[in-house]
Amino acid sequence: MFQSIGALLNGLSGETVFAEKVHERAGQDEVEECVDLTGQSGVSAACPRTDNHVHELFYDSHWHHNDLTLLATAPSAAPGSHIDGYQTEFNSQQHVNYIGADNHIHELFYINSWSHNDLTQLANAPAAAPASPVDGYQTSFNDQQHVNFLGTDNHVHELVYIDSWQHNNLTDL
């Protein structure tokens, strides 16, 4: 595992990384989908791998590799899980969302170290459909976080953070 990530990092240089470059260097069997987490804290990308862990490629003055699943003591991603990431500008936190093997939406977030939240459990939301797209973002006008996904009921669901994680069934609204 570390040899292939090391080989990936070895040839990358500069201050930016794009998902296309990561795909090109790692190959489709190694990295399926990457998200750009670039922000004030540096340049980074998070990618799920064939071990069902989320891995981070991070650049400060040289490239680093982190297994975010292990660092956050989070459950593994479901095989074929989509991944999404964003940075909240109001507090400079990085967030990575994915579907776990339990069909829950999981969040990895960085506040001085990587941590984990089971958003489905925190919001008392229904399970995500296998291989559902995941779309997380911040609304800057009110500093809220949102994560949208398709549920096993074929409805579009929103998890929103307003002092705590809450659930909305957008199909029913």
pLDDT digits (tens, 9 = 90+) for 70-93: 999 999 999 888 888 888 988 888
Give the count of domains, the chain: 1
- pLDDT tens for each residue of 152-167: 999 999 999 999 999 9
Provide the whole-model pTM.
0.78
Residue 66 domain boundaries: 2-169
CATH of the domain at 88: 2.120.10.70
Query: What is the predicted pLDDT for the residue at 38?
Result: 55
Six token digits for residue 161: 């953070």
Query: What is the predicted pLDDT for the residue at 35?
Result: 66
SS (H, E, C) 46-93: EEEECCCCEEEEEECCCEEEEEHHHHCCCCCECCCCCEEEEEECCCCE
